[in-house]
Amino acid sequence: MFCGKTEELLRRVRRAIIARQRVKVFKPEIDDRYGIQRITSHSGQSVEAIPVAVSSDILALANGEATVVAIDEAQFFDDGIVAVAHSLADDYGVRVIIAGLDTDFRGEPFGAMPRLLSIAEEVIKLQAICVVCGEPASRTQRLVNGQPAAYDDPIIMVGARESYEARCRAHHEVLASGS
């Protein structure tokens, strides 16, 4: 969180549009933080996006028209997102740009992201700044009433600054189950 993933995705989308490529942008339906039909970075940059409930909807909606498909918050999609990315790239020759968190609030691999990372031609791992010490932050600290979340809390909880902070490994905390 807060490392510029969506800003980088938006930068690549804008460049593709300038190059007159046919671009379609998708996001998970559950991510309604900045509007249903937009992806928006924390700094306020945005672009229109198609919200989808399941990853297979992306293939149907891209319908062979797009030369570039961008997918934000990929960690929220089902495991089928891997097959969708393969199909877009291999069957249709589409350039696929994906942004998402590689680890959840526990610091563990998040959804299908490890598989997506392993099949990607290029991976750029961005880091935020730890809000505690100012060092590079590789973790997402979930807060519940200002306190670290418990290990057994639900994995998916959409939120922004009110619920999450960027933390380095040393300052990332997860409470034991039942705490």
Are the CB atoms for 24 and 16 separated by under 8 Å?
A: no
Distance CA 108, CA 158 (A): 17
Per DSSP, 103 falls in state: B
Pick from 157, 156, 153, 110: nearest CA to 173: 153
Pick from 125, 121, 157: nearest CA to 142: 157
Altogether, the residues listed in the chain come to a count of 179
Antiparallel, parallel or unpaired: β 23-28 and 50-52: parallel
121 in active site: no
Candidate list 73, 108, 162, 173, residue with the active-site label: 73
User: Among all residues, which ones are annotated catalytic?
Assistant: 73
